[in-house]
Chain A
Amino acid sequence: MQEERLAIHLKERPSQLLEAKNKGVKIIGYFPGNYVPEELIYASGAVPLCLINGGDSKPAEMALSVVPQVICPFARAQVGERLLGKNPYYSMIDMLVAPITCQHLKKVAEVWEYNGDLEIFKLGIPHQHNNDFELEYFNDRLRALKDRLQAFTGNEITDEKISEAIVLYNRMRELLKNISLLRCTSPSLLSSLDFVKLNHASFYADPAFMVDYLDSVYHELKDKQQVTKTETPKILLIGPSIGYGDYEVLQLVKAAGGDIVIEEICEGVRYYWNKVESKGDLIESLAREYLVDRVPCAFMRYSTRKRLDFALKLIKDFAVSGVIWYELLCCETYDAESYFFSQELGDRNIPMLILESDYSAANTGQFRTRIEAFIEILRGVME
């Protein structure tokens, strides 16, 4: 019943948005990775849409007419979706907020800018924050984004509106976190696939609807919660962005009898773990939370140790038996970091499986075999 409610909402969402757009509401897309404060877009009266489609080889291949294969499949998929023009979300946006994060997404923003058919705001993300001027820079860029949004939408962004947006999104993140934590003791309550889908839905759905929906899901699951001892190996998933539709690994793990109980990905822990401070200078709060306080993505400087420490904490807290490292082809930072993680986890006798995807259907067979073998290893370790 719950799922049906969300499915109907998502089905109707494009037409709702088009209707709003026709009435003058601006639809503002942004790229994932957790560096664009959706609160600011929401506070401007525009609709924030996280452009996160991935997993389908067709858009990624389509993009090869514009960018070479060394750009990762997720980034290429963003280019391809816009070229194909079949996804209503990608066609309806009035403006793009492009965080300058990794070179891949930066290149997508540059290609879209070159095409010249869309208003683009490049949001500079300092790749480190140990010097005071870096946080200051991000603060200034958020203020510039605020100004641009005001001019673009014609709406004033007041502190009150930002505060309301922070409260709303904090609630959404809190609910996602609460739901996720239920899996710590009862992994069978909600599969990783279902959880990631919920998280993805939050990027497209109306946030107020989503909060209400997540609240009911949380209470329903909480009522069903019971502490169970399971023989199923618990797995931590680590990776960059998992696209909306990039569900193959999650499905294969489930089918092979493993439970991914926590996801250290852009659309997982990194998104919902913290809340934004809703008092004081709100732009500063957003800047601090988005740049400094969140678990960093692999492209950030000095991030390797922090990311390892956080992964080790998750492994301990969720009683994880093994790690699946899911990276996208040509993602150089995750690939380099996988070497370090496999050594560190190996020293601690924690098995790690590295999977690299280019969204091709040809992955499936070898992924299945490797995942099945990995889960067998984990079972062996558990015995």
Chain B
Amino acid sequence: MIELLELCGYGEQEIESELPRVEKAFNKLGITVDDIERGKQRLNKYYDMELKGVRKALRLILRELVDALLVRDEGVKNVIYGFMAPGFDLLSSALVTKSKDVFSIHHSWAFQIFIGCIFGKIVPILEEAERKWLKAGMVAHCANLKTLVGPLTLGLYPKPDLLVTTGLLCETSPKTIDLFHELYDIPVWYVDACQDRTSGEYPEPSERVAISAAKSLKRLAERIQEVVGFEITDDMLLEVQDAKGKMGEAFDRIRDLIATSAPLPLSPAHENIWMCLNVLALSINGITEATDAVNLLYEELRERVAKGLGVVEKDAPRVLATLPMGQTDPRLEHLACEVGIAIVATDRNIEASIKEIPEDPYLRFGIGMQLGAMHVPPTMRIPLLIEGCKKLNIDGVLDRFHVGCRAVAGDALLIDNAIKKELGIPVMLLEWENFDPRVYKHEEYKKRLEIFKTMMLANKQK
């Protein structure tokens, strides 16, 4: 256990003070000595553990996982969970900064990284959800939701005082929390906005959609105020926004470095660690710690780049992947590196630019949710992807479609056709589940990635 904590960036004194808590939390999760051994092996295999920035980031994630599991035991008064809830992290950080009596998190992210990516034990959790209302099979329920349903119905996580989701791109999540309300008597809340922009309105964000989303988020803040008993002021949110802005800039620097360096300095398997850091409900101090970790990693990567070191050959074909990296399983991204493919970016980080970012935190959310390539209709998404490919000098697109998500999976074939037609570069279409390691088929993926690489290299020589 101590070795694991050291790998995850815990210092000597912290290990001494935190060990009993971590052990208690792991006992709740059924993590055994063998699991810890496997976890260490997987960390060393799939992640760059010599990078201190990676370790520091993992430390923050593990800390949140432990806190989440012990929150009721340790007497925290109000527990609020968000799920698939952009905007929620802003409110959460404001809450936990203001009061130690409140614990407010989007808990699945930390859970997915540790139980899925590191311990490789997510499948029993998914199966538990499948025994409830998210059955397995062709219906293709999103395994992300299964990582909410499984732990809660197994009683791994304490019952929250409020469970929040959005229906911005998903119907399963709202229906799931509706069922939590009906079957487990958990109070729930939804943030919504209509996704009814039409082609004449792209790429500008729609004011009416932004205002409606902002109002909906504001109502959530009011509902949370009822739960926690204190006001969430705009100043609190602006302070979080400011701190998160600095963290965002730090992420951008890393992304730019990765996207523009050859050889690729870091395996794409790490991307979900950054995603997770971004949504942890960190207090202002926690956000500063996270920003320091990201800045440290940036310096470490810059050093690598200066020395010409990387995780693939210098002339490896450059790939843009759709969707974030596997969130419970790092094997595909690791395999891509082994085959010699440099996944330099994902469409999660491609978004439309806007002239002015509003100061109002609620309106900023309303605008922000209309910009990302993953969150907009194909009429806007595909031109953004094409532009991104050109800008990043991409040799091929890994067009993964997460079958659990109709919103993003529905575009996969259109993207495939458009990229081939407009850019003439190879596209590898991959039916995929971002949160379910059972879809991973090593030999098949290896062969397909090798062929994809050959196609890209041949195409480059034309």
Q: Is there a chain A Cβ closer than 8 Å to B451's Cβ?
A: no
Task: Please state if A70 and B378 are interface contacts (CB–CB under 8 Å).
Answer: no
Q: Which residue of A lies closest to B133 (CB)?
A: A339
Which parts of A112-157 form the interface with B (CB within 8 Å)? 113-114, 116, 120-128, 131, 133-134, 137, 140-141
One digit per residue, 1 when the CB lies within 8 angstroms of any chain B CB and 0 when it does not, for chain A 346-368 equals: 00000000001010000000000
Chain B residues with Cβ under 8 A from A284's Cβ? none
Task: Please state if B216 and A330 are interface contacts (CB–CB under 8 Å).
Answer: no
Known: A133-B215, A336-B179. A113 touches B410 (CB 8 A): no
Task: Please state if A127 and B413 are interface contacts (CB–CB under 8 Å).
Answer: no
Task: Please state if B190 and A128 are interface contacts (CB–CB under 8 Å).
Answer: yes
Which parts of B405-454 form the interface with A (CB within 8 Å)? 406-407, 409-414, 431
Task: Please state if B198 and A122 are interface contacts (CB–CB under 8 Å).
Answer: yes
Q: Is there a chain B Cβ closer than 8 Å to A191's Cβ?
A: no
Q: Is there a chain B Cβ closer than 8 Å to A215's Cβ?
A: no
Chain A residues with Cβ under 8 A from B403's Cβ? 68, 70
Chain B residues with Cβ under 8 A from A338's Cβ? 133
Task: Please state if B139 and A131 are interface contacts (CB–CB under 8 Å).
Answer: no
Q: Is there a chain B Cβ closer than 8 Å to A265's Cβ?
A: no
Task: Please state if B413 and A65 are interface contacts (CB–CB under 8 Å).
Answer: yes
Task: Please state if B208 and A137 are interface contacts (CB–CB under 8 Å).
Answer: yes
CA distance A140 to B138 in the complex (A): 39
The number of chain A residues touching the other chain, given as a range, is: 35 or more
Chain A residues with Cβ under 8 A from B178's Cβ? 301-304
Chain B residues with Cβ under 8 A from A116's Cβ? 199, 379
Task: Please state if A340 and B407 are interface contacts (CB–CB under 8 Å).
Answer: no
One digit per residue, 1 when the CB lies within 8 angstroms of any chain A CB and 0 when it does not, for chain B 114-145 equals: 00000000000000000011110011111000
CA distance A301 to B216 in the complex (A): 13
Q: Which residue of B lies closest to A331 (CB)?
A: B139
Task: Please state if A68 and B413 are interface contacts (CB–CB under 8 Å).
Answer: yes
Task: Please state if B172 and A340 are interface contacts (CB–CB under 8 Å).
Answer: no
Task: Please state if A102 and B379 are interface contacts (CB–CB under 8 Å).
Answer: no
Known: A141-B196, A329-B139, A336-B175. A127 touches B378 (CB 8 A): no
Q: Is there a chain A Cβ closer than 8 Å to B306's Cβ?
A: no
Known: A125-B194, A301-B192, A339-B179. A110 touches B378 (CB 8 A): yes
Known: A68-B431, A114-B377, A304-B178. A103 touches B208 (CB 8 A): no
Known: A304-B179, A336-B134. A104 touches B194 (CB 8 A): no
Known: A66-B414, A114-B414, A340-B133. A127 touches B174 (CB 8 A): yes
Chain A residues with Cβ under 8 A from B320's Cβ? none
One digit per residue, 1 when the CB lies within 8 angstroms of any chain B CB and 0 when it does not, for chain A 53-89 equals: 0000000000001111111000000000000000000
Known: A68-B403, A71-B406, A131-B215. A335 touches B139 (CB 8 A): yes
CA distance A133 to B366 in the complex (A): 15
Chain A residues with Cβ under 8 A from B139's Cβ? 329-332, 335, 356
Q: Is there a chain A Cβ closer than 8 Å to B212's Cβ?
A: yes
Task: Please state if A121 and B377 are interface contacts (CB–CB under 8 Å).
Answer: no
Task: Please state if A113 and B379 are interface contacts (CB–CB under 8 Å).
Answer: yes
Q: Is there a chain B Cβ closer than 8 Å to A206's Cβ?
A: no
Task: Please state if B176 and A336 are interface contacts (CB–CB under 8 Å).
Answer: yes
Known: A68-B403, A131-B215, A298-B175. A124 touches B194 (CB 8 A): yes
Task: Please state if A329 and B198 are interface contacts (CB–CB under 8 Å).
Answer: no
Q: Is there a chain A Cβ closer than 8 Å to B183's Cβ?
A: yes
Chain B residues with Cβ under 8 A from A67's Cβ? 410, 413
Chain A residues with Cβ under 8 A from B278's Cβ? none
Task: Please state if B407 and A107 are interface contacts (CB–CB under 8 Å).
Answer: yes
CA distance A110 to B410 in the complex (A): 9
Known: A103-B407, A131-B216, A332-B141. A68 touches B412 (CB 8 A): yes
Task: Please state if A301 and B194 are interface contacts (CB–CB under 8 Å).
Answer: no
Task: Please state if A333 and B171 are interface contacts (CB–CB under 8 Å).
Answer: yes
Q: Is there a chain A Cβ closer than 8 Å to B195's Cβ?
A: yes
Task: Please state if A333 and B410 are interface contacts (CB–CB under 8 Å).
Answer: no
* Shortest Cβ gap from B238 to chain A (Å): 23
- In this complex, how many residues of chain B approach chain A with their Cβ under 8 Å: the count is 51
Partner pick for A332 among B132, B172, B199, CB 8 A cutoff: B172
Partner pick for A122 among B197, B407, B412, CB 8 A cutoff: B197
Known: A126-B194, A301-B167. A131 touches B219 (CB 8 A): yes
Q: Is there a chain A Cβ closer than 8 Å to B169's Cβ?
A: yes
Partner pick for A127 among B192, B379, B404, CB 8 A cutoff: B192
Known: A114-B377, A340-B179. A71 touches B194 (CB 8 A): no
CA distance A330 to B431 in the complex (A): 15
Chain B residues with Cβ under 8 A from A356's Cβ? 139
Q: Which residue of B lies closest to A308 (CB)?
A: B182
Task: Please state if B406 and A100 are interface contacts (CB–CB under 8 Å).
Answer: no
CA distance A110 to B169 in the complex (A): 13
Chain B residues with Cβ under 8 A from A114's Cβ? 377-379, 382, 414
Q: Is there a chain B Cβ closer than 8 Å to A372's Cβ?
A: no
Partner pick for B175 among A140, A304, A358, CB 8 A cutoff: A304
Chain A residues with Cβ under 8 A from B404's Cβ? 70
Partner pick for A111 among B170, B195, B378, CB 8 A cutoff: B378
Q: Is there a chain B Cβ closer than 8 Å to A11's Cβ?
A: no
CA distance A335 to B132 in the complex (A): 11
Chain A residues with Cβ under 8 A from B171's Cβ? 102-103, 299, 332-333
Chain B residues with Cβ under 8 A from A336's Cβ? 133-134, 141, 172, 175-176, 179
Which parts of B198-238 form the interface with A (CB within 8 Å)? 198-199, 208-209, 212, 215-216, 219
CA distance A332 to B136 in the complex (A): 11
Chain B residues with Cβ under 8 A from A123's Cβ? 196
Known: A68-B409, A68-B412. A124 touches B135 (CB 8 A): no
Known: A65-B413, A68-B409. A100 touches B141 (CB 8 A): no
Known: A68-B431, A111-B410, A114-B379. A340 touches B192 (CB 8 A): no
Task: Please state if B410 and A137 are interface contacts (CB–CB under 8 Å).
Answer: no
* Shortest Cβ gap from A70 to chain B (Å): 5
Q: Is there a chain B Cβ closer than 8 Å to A159's Cβ?
A: no
One digit per residue, 1 when the CB lies within 8 angstroms of any chain A CB and 0 when it does not, for chain B 155-174 equals: 00000000000010111101
* Shortest Cβ gap from B434 to chain A (Å): 13
Task: Please state if A103 and B414 are interface contacts (CB–CB under 8 Å).
Answer: no
Q: Is there a chain B Cβ closer than 8 Å to A337's Cβ?
A: yes
Task: Please state if B183 and A68 are interface contacts (CB–CB under 8 Å).
Answer: no
Chain A residues with Cβ under 8 A from B406's Cβ? 70-71, 103-104, 107, 330, 332
* Shortest Cβ gap from A290 to chain B (Å): 14
Q: Which residue of A lies closest to B178 (CB)?
A: A304
Task: Please state if B377 and A127 are interface contacts (CB–CB under 8 Å).
Answer: no
Task: Please state if A335 and B410 are interface contacts (CB–CB under 8 Å).
Answer: no
Chain B residues with Cβ under 8 A from A304's Cβ? 175, 178-179, 182
* Shortest Cβ gap from B210 to chain A (Å): 12
Chain B residues with Cβ under 8 A from A358's Cβ? 138
Chain B residues with Cβ under 8 A from A126's Cβ? 192, 194, 212
Most chain A CB within a 10 A radius of its CB, from B134, B171, B172, B197 = B171
Q: Is there a chain B Cβ closer than 8 Å to A305's Cβ?
A: yes
Q: Is there a chain A Cβ closer than 8 Å to B401's Cβ?
A: yes
Chain A residues with Cβ under 8 A from B216's Cβ? 131, 133
Which parts of A19-70 form the interface with B (CB within 8 Å)? 65-70
CA distance A126 to B142 in the complex (A): 23
10 CB-based A-B contacts, threshold 8 Å: A100-B196, A102-B171, A113-B378, A128-B190, A141-B196, A302-B190, A332-B140, A332-B172, A336-B179, A358-B138
Q: Footprint of B on A, CB under 8 Å? A: 65-71, 100, 102-104, 106-107, 110-111, 113-114, 116, 120-128, 131, 133-134, 137, 140-141, 298-299, 301-305, 329-333, 335-340, 343, 356, 358
What 10 A-B pairs come out closest when comparing CB atoms?
Answer: A124-B194, A124-B196, A339-B133, A103-B406, A107-B410, A110-B377, A122-B196, A336-B133, A332-B172, A114-B378
